[in-house]
Amino acid sequence: MFTILSIILACTAAESAQYRAALVADMDTGRVLYQENANELNYPASLTKIMTLYLTFDALEHGRLALNDYLIVSQAAANAEPVKLGVPAGSKIRVEDAIKALAVHSANDVARVLAENLKGGQEESFADLMTRVAREIGLTRTNFENSSGLPNDDHMSTARDIALLSMAVYKHFPQYWHFFGIKSWTYNGKTYTNGNRLLGSYNGCDGMKTGYTKKSKYSLVATAHRDNRHLMSVVLGAENKDVRANVAAQMLNRGFSMLNSGATPVAVTKPVSQPAPQPTPAPAPQPTYTYNSPTQTAPATTFNAAYNAATSAAAPTYTASSAAPVANSMPGTAGVQFGAFSSRASAESQVRNVKNKLGVNAVIETASNGMFRVRVNGLSETAAQQIRASAASNGIDSYVFH
């Protein structure tokens, strides 16, 4: 008996050394049931895309996007590696397909497409927004440098922060939660399978997201429903996919067992074989847009306080001016006009047409003759010509003005 027990303990210790951090928490109450190194900095890899999708859902909720809108693919987005959907520069992708590309396939090129279309063509500006929103909903040790989680030494988070972010998505945007539970998705004739293997093997699993880079190793947020309980496990820095899936399942099992038994929450600090570097995240950026948080004015200092802030009834929002179209980020004195109309209703229809087909947010200006002009202003010559060419290929008459 002693020998068998020793073997079991040795195996458990060996597996424990094969990941950097983990926790399991109740998604409905925010109660952390068990945690290991949950506040230690790690590279989040593609778990970053949870925040990219959070901001996408926010744009949908506030009318800045619609699921059937089209997003324009830039050359920079098309060049993203290594995991990608392969959308070519100059092409378009529907918002709903873009969401699925991130949730199922973790496509880095499409993450950048969303970032650029949501924040004026600048992924860096979108990353600033990501970090700002992270602070507002209580993520105290997270700094984002890009929209996908591709390697960057200053791109950091913790298991605790990832859990809060995931809970915020669950609470703020339940209407979009089902995207994280899609097992497979077909696009342009090719079928992509979700990397979260618990979706097909763990009873009640309904999400959520995988991640991997060479530095981060393998990570997973996995959620599951059982007996009217909804739990979340977070595993960071696992040695391989098997360890990632096994530890996530073990954490969920432990959490359901603790709920059933009424056990006291447990926090553990354990040694890890290869801890992640520990740089100090850059300070929260000072954005130029107006950001409104209905829940807090200072960072929450405890997990419970942060949970209450992160999952409040109203999601934090930012103004539509912070979601300018791709080309608008290229300052200059040129502009593109998409027609002049005798009625505002016709001009508004053209604005929607331009947004849906080109992904560009045009404005309506009243001319001296009473006509309503549909325009995009403040562009570089190159950007203006690119938009004019794209409009022509989409059957929209336009011209460049200066």
Give the residue numbers annotated as catalytic, written as ranges.
Answer: 46, 49, 106
Q: Is the dihedral of CA 329, 73, 75, 51 positive or negative?
A: positive
CA distance 384 to 402: 10
Residue 345 near residue 394, CB atoms below 8 Å: no
Q: Return the CA Rg of the chain.
A: 23
**All residues at 6 or more sequence positions from 234 whose CB lies less than 8 Å from its CB, including other chains:** 21, 22, 23, 24, 38, 159, 162, 163, 166, 219, 220, 221, 251
**In angstroms, how far is the first alpha carbon of the chain from the final one?**
85
